[in-house]
Amino acid sequence: MRLESVALKNFRCYQDEITVRFDELTTFIGKNDIGKSSVLEALEIFFNNETVRIEAGDANVYSDDTKVSITCEFSDLPPSLTLDAGAATTLGAEYLLTAAGTLKIRKVFDCKAAKPAEDVSLLAHHPTAPGVENLLDLKEKDLQTLVKKKGLDVALKGNPGMRQALWASEPNLQLAEVAIPLSKNKEDGKKIWDQLQAYLPMFALFQSDRNSKDSDGEVQAPMMAAVTQALAELQVEIDAIQAKVRQKAEEIARLTHEALKTIDPNLAKELTPQFTPPTQSKWRGLFSVNMDTDDGIPLNKRGSGIRRLILVSFFKAAAERRLASGDRARSIIYAIEEPETAQHPNNQKVLIESFKALAGDDGCQVILTTHSPGFAAELPIESVRYVTRDIAKKPSIHAGVDVFEDVAAALGLVADSRVKVLICVEGPTDIDALKSLSRALHLSDPQLPDLSTDHRFAFVPSGGSTLQHWVAEHYLSGLGRKEAHIYDSDVPVYGKAVAAVNARQDGSWATQTSKHEIESYLHADAINDALGVVVDVADHLNANGHAVPKAVAMALHAVNPVGDPKKDSTVKKLLASKAFPCMTADRLAERDPSGEVKGWLVRLLAML
């Protein structure tokens, strides 16, 4: 399941309901004590209620209402649910989805209690017609009575089938958005909620507050997130263990009952064990990981920077593991407050690249908060959520191009005076590709620039930028910087843009690739080294009519035929982060014998 949005009402500073939408990578930026961490902690309360627990003081202090509401909206939903007696159903068939086909789960906590309990409901486009508005609450006998009363031809066994027959018999269901309780005292509502919890994303929160205990979150949280993920991947085996324990318990209960009857048959007509398997949190509680470093020194005795490197290592390893593995047992959300804390700039770059790689993987989302201009400058524009407050201290969260000037001012982002040339490309994957190709050529010929480290050049993607590129575009354009435009040839309309730039006569120039797209310059060996698949790399389309990203997607699907082949955009990210770094000058010479890419670098040098 994928988290689409969260709506908060009466939670801390968010008195009025506010909705925040999430991408694969979402970054909250704003001043201190503005409400960024509250969003992440609300999600922790919704998913786990462990690292951060709901408390009486979480209700908005300016409100007379004691109830806090946290509503999460999901897409990529489970295809079916199985209730008792093997009765299969779907969320759609039970009218448990919104009009848009998403799943909205609302948890309400009454904070007048010292330990607020959760009340769970679904906000769904559900029947409200009299007589069929509360079928989920009815027991099997009640449903059978209604079916017989209407004379419906349907099996009188299996609640989902009887409900659907009753709904189908109603000429006007009067569908409307209603809150459907999934409380413990409900009939199939409780069973549906029990099923849904197994599909909810795993949520791992890494807080910015640091302590020095051996159970410090920056040590335990990454490792416990790994334990949680491992348990999810072993769910089949865990279910088998629980089934075996249940079988043994029922056998012991049966033998006990038989022995009881031999003593006094009137004591108990039946003895039925009510088996309650351990919750996921109890399974996690069975495991604890302590970590020692060199010479047996406990990690919590090392400096804060070293301790925070656990985060760098964890996310780098998680990114590589998920990208290499085809196992997607459950989706996962990593939420990290101020990941740049106590980190050297080089480590920050490693960390942000790991975040980007994780966010580009199916079934994984990353949520960040940051105050660092350098760290924020590397983030994709579409990931930014700017948190601010008005004169009345009412918080609001904004996204889109309009917030960038405010974000730049809040973080102190300024133009880099070292930049002399702007390199305009289509998107972020083109940037990564050109950086890797230039690095390979620079290693062979140091006279050529390495665009990954040379601060005289700045990239400006036209199809989605980052804050640093936005700053470059909006500040440096007024300083008369020359521009070099390099676009793929698979989009004919770019030809007009190329012609327009070349007509400026201000030292700028533009070109389109002679091959289909930048991925067409990859060598098959680089793709095989990075992803373990063999593909036919053609200058344009291969014999099957596929460009390189599509050919790689089909090859990956052939190796691991789970679900549909990866999207071209996902494969482009894989190729940019994995395959292009495997390119060498020799491999590029085989794919680009005319030296086209080298020619671009020579021309860029001439612009300085």
Q: Which amino acid is at 538?
A: A
Alpha-carbon gap, residue 317 to 7, rounded angstroms:
32
pLDDT for the residue numbered 321: 61
Q: Most confidently modeled of 63-72, 215-224, 246-255, 456-465?
A: 63-72
- Is the pLDDT score of 136 beyond 90? no
Handedness of CA 388, 32, 27, 403 (dihedral sign): positive
- Is the pLDDT score of 219 beyond 50? no
| Mean pLDDT value across residues 338-355 | 74
Token pair for residue 292?
Answer: 């020692």
- A 10 A CB-CB count for 274 gives 6
Q: What angle do CA 516, 519, 523 make, to 5 degrees?
A: 110
| Mean pLDDT value across residues 208-218 | 47
pLDDT for the residue numbered 475: 43
Confidence tier at 476 by pLDDT (50, 70, 90): very low
Alpha-carbon gap, residue 534 to 556, rounded angstroms:
9
pLDDT for the residue numbered 218: 45
Token pair for residue 236?
Answer: 């089949």
Q: Give every CB contact of residue 59 below 8 A, 6+ residues apart in sequence.
A: 10, 11, 65, 66, 67, 68, 111
| Mean pLDDT value across residues 171-184 | 89
pLDDT for the residue numbered 54: 95
- Is the pLDDT score of 212 beyond 50? no
pLDDT for the residue numbered 325: 57
Q: What angle do CA 582, 349, 444 make, to 5 degrees?
A: 35
| Mean pLDDT value across residues 539-548 | 90
Q: Give every CB contact of residue 197 below 8 A, 6+ residues apart in sequence.
A: 280
246 vs 381 pLDDT, higher one: 246
Least confident of 58-62, 140-144, 342-346, 604-608: 342-346
Q: What is the DSSP string of 141-175?
A: HHHHHHHHHHT--S-SS-HHHHHHHHHHT-S----
Token pair for residue 250?
Answer: 């029922």
Looking at the chain, the whole-number percentage of residues with pLDDT higher than 90 is 40
Q: What are the structural domains of the chain?
A: 78-198 (no CATH), 205-228+293-411 (3.40.50), 236-282 (no CATH), 421-606 (no CATH)
Cβ atoms of 101 and 212 within 8 Å: the answer is: no
Token pair for residue 568?
Answer: 């071209």
Confidence tier at 146 by pLDDT (50, 70, 90): very high
For residue 122, the number of C-alpha atoms closer than 13 Å in the C-beta half-sphere is 25
Confidence tier at 210 by pLDDT (50, 70, 90): very low
Question: CA 429: distance to chain centroid?
Answer: 19
Closest by alpha carbon to 28, among 10, 47, 43?
Answer: 43
Confidence tier at 234 by pLDDT (50, 70, 90): confident
- Is the pLDDT score of 261 beyond 60? yes
Helix (H, G, I), strand (E, B) or coil at 15: coil
Place of tokens 């085809």: 326
| Mean pLDDT value across residues 78-106 | 87
| Mean pLDDT value across residues 109-132 | 93
Question: What is the enclosing helix (H) or strand (E) of 282?
Answer: helix 280-285
Question: Which letter, b or e, does each residue of 392-425 get, where b requires 16 or more Cβ atoms within 10 Å of its Cβ?
Answer: eeebebebeeebbeebbebbebebeeebbbbbbb
Closest by alpha carbon to 278, among 255, 322, 245, 254?
Answer: 245
Helix (H, G, I), strand (E, B) or coil at 106: strand
Alpha-carbon gap, residue 444 to 580, rounded angstroms:
16
Alpha-carbon gap, residue 152 to 166, rounded angstroms:
8
pLDDT for the residue numbered 357: 75
pLDDT for the residue numbered 600: 97
Place of tokens 């609001």: 396
Looking only at the bridges linking them, the beta strands covering 384-389 and 25-29 are: parallel
284 vs 248 pLDDT, higher one: 248
| Mean pLDDT value across residues 410-433 | 79
pLDDT for the residue numbered 111: 95
Cβ atoms of 126 and 180 within 8 Å: the answer is: yes
Cβ atoms of 201 and 1 within 8 Å: the answer is: yes
Closest by alpha carbon to 51, among 220, 166, 304?
Answer: 220
Q: Most confidently modeled of 115-129, 191-205, 363-377?
A: 115-129
Q: What is the DSSP string of 57-104?
A: GGB-TT-S--EEEEEEEEES--S-EE-GGG-EE-TTTTT-S-TTS-EE
Place of tokens 């050297």: 344
CA quadruple 32, 33, 35, 38: dihedral, nearest 10 = 110
- Is the pLDDT score of 300 beyond 70? no
Backbone angles phi, psi at 260, to 5 degrees: -65, -40
pLDDT for the residue numbered 358: 77
Query: What are the helix and strand counts (H, E) for the chain?
Result: 19, 18
Cβ atoms of 292 and 310 within 8 Å: the answer is: no
Confidence tier at 211 by pLDDT (50, 70, 90): very low
Least confident of 28-32, 68-72, 371-375, 547-551: 371-375
pLDDT tens digits for range 67-81? 999 999 999 998 888
Q: Give every CB contact of residue 213 below 8 A, 6+ residues apart in sequence.
A: 300
In angstroms, the Cα distances linking 410 to 11, 233, 342, 349, 384 are 25, 42, 21, 21, 13
Alpha-carbon gap, residue 184 to 190, rounded angstroms:
6
418 vs 510 pLDDT, higher one: 510
Q: Give every CB contact of residue 158 below 8 A, 6+ residues apart in sequence.
A: 85, 87
Question: CA 153: distance to chain centroid?
Answer: 45
- Is the pLDDT score of 562 beyond 60? no
Confidence tier at 474 by pLDDT (50, 70, 90): very low
Q: Which amino acid is at 257?
A: H
pLDDT tens digits for range 455-467? 889 887 765 445 5
